[in-house]
Amino acid sequence: MKDSHVHTVLSHDGRSTAREYLAAAHARGVDEITFTEHFDLYDGVPSPLRTLDVAACRRAYRELEPVPGVRANFGVEIGLRPECREKIRAMTGENAFDFIIGSSHITAGRDMAFDPSFFAGKTRREAYLVYFGEVLANIRLFDDFDVYGHLDYVVRYGGYPEKKIAYDEFREALDAILRALAEKGKGLEVNSSGYRYGLSSPHPNPEILRRFRELGGETVTLGSDAHQVSQLASGLPEAMEAARAAGFSYYAVFRERKPVYFKL
């Protein structure tokens, strides 16, 4: 298996080192790991977290002892924010990545995972539409990403009892996003961390994945979003099955920003 979304201790919430992941790869059935540390900019957002030092990160990867039979790629997961466009563009221009996941973490100036005020005074629908609106703005504004990460992960937050984004419920917003990705030739990540959050589906859920295919989406990548070795490749077989069921025959791994396709 190939895991295209892995965080190490270089990410604020990672618990294992790159060396530990590589050492565990064989045992977990993995022959390719793409490290994707968080790069989030906290401009205007009160947060104790610091933005990733990409240069230090590159140095750390360069010192890694290769493990025979396990390929390691150097990626990044960028928290896209329209207001940080120039800084993000500068960072991606200065660094040669294998793979870039564009995600929405801080949305409308709030990090919904940590700051419940994002949801204050909004219904579930209103809050999610703000999130989807900013995802669409990011897709239109940025070229420097390969896939959009964990598209419907907003379901984890806000404390609402309904934990699924039914496609019909947000059809208009989702179609605009999926169409924009397909038209730009960008891919969608199938993120298996949903299973660890008890959602019984990856992010995004199979209805959304299928719709991406229908609207001309061609590229999906698979990632566990592991933050520790025990999560490496967790849920990937199920995510592969979900991608197959949605109509995809291949998944991609990015090397030097180019997709290499493998049979699902």
Q: Please identify, using beta-carbon distances, which residue of 79 and 217 lies nearer to Zn ion.
A: 79
Segment interacting with Zn ion (CB under 5 A) among 92-100, 174-182, 221-229, 239-247: 221-229
- Do 226 and 25 contact (CB within 8 A), yes or no? no
Check binding of 225 to Zn ion (CB under 5 A).
yes
Check binding of 16 to Zn ion (CB under 5 A).
no
Q: What is the dihedral of CA 120, 125, 128, 129, to 10 degrees?
A: -110
DSSP state of 70: B
Q: Taking the complex as a whole, how short is the minimal distance between the CB of residue 117 and Zn ion, in angstroms?
A: 20
Q: Please identify, using beta-carbon distances, which residue of 103 and 231 lies nearer to Zn ion.
A: 103
Alpha helices (H) in 15-83, listed in sequence order: 18-24, 54-62
Q: Please identify, using beta-carbon distances, which residue of 107 and 219 lies nearer to Zn ion.
A: 107
How many Cβ atoms are within 10 Å of 13's Cβ, its own excluded? 11
Site string for Zn ion, 75-114 (x = CB under 5 A): --x-------------------------x-----------
Q: Please identify, using beta-carbon distances, which residue of 6 and 240 lies nearer to Zn ion.
A: 6
Q: Which of residues 30-69 bind Zn ion (CB under 5 A)?
A: none
71 vs 90: CA distance, rounded Å: 28
Check binding of 3 to Zn ion (CB under 5 A).
no
Q: Taking the complex as a whole, how short is the minimal distance between the CB of residue 72 and Zn ion, in angstroms?
A: 17
Residues near 262 by beta carbon (within 8 Å), at least 6 away in sequence: 2, 250, 251, 252, 253
- Do 5 and 18 contact (CB within 8 A), yes or no? no
Could you list the residues that contact Zn ion (CB under 5 A)? 77, 103, 225
